[in-house]
Amino acid sequence: MKKLMMIAVASMFIFAGCEEKKDAAVEQAKPAPVAEQPVAKKAPAPSEVAVRAGVQSVDWDKAIEMNANGAIYVDVRNAPELNEGFAPHALNIPLSELKQRIGELPKDKDLLIYCRSGRRSEAASKYLMDQGYTRVYNVIGGFLAYPKK
């Protein structure tokens, strides 16, 4: 019985040590921060923009402020998802239709892209940037993070 207890205690120490190494490995694996690119006027201050995989992101507070200054909301969710609600005056272009409807989006205005949780909008933002759009902002958290009044 004593041997079993000793093995159990030793195992706990080994597992605890492995977790610390895993945490250290995760910290080392984090990518280095990406340098921010200059943005057009009316763009948020660099401290208010997060950049991930080349896609600029803003939170809803900043998105609402930008929208009040002329930025356009682009909702890339499918039509049935709009029953959950949507940002005021948002243009709905589902991600699956973005390639065909890209001409509906102006290049001279800030575009605030959002979906339900943020994954599709990040993909849409990246696609738009690949097509030459420079004033594209992914709204962090998607509509799930939209401030409810």
What are the residue numbers of the active site?
Answer: 115
> How many CB atoms neighbour CB 30 within 10 A?
7
Instruction: Return d(Cα 78, Cα 65) in angstroms, integer.
Output: 25
SS (H, E, C) 97-130: HHHHHHHHCCCCCCEEEECCCCHHHHHHHHHHHH
Backbone angles phi, psi at 90, to 5 degrees: -70, 145
List, in order, residues 6 or more apart from 36 with CB less than 8 Å away: 46, 49, 51, 56
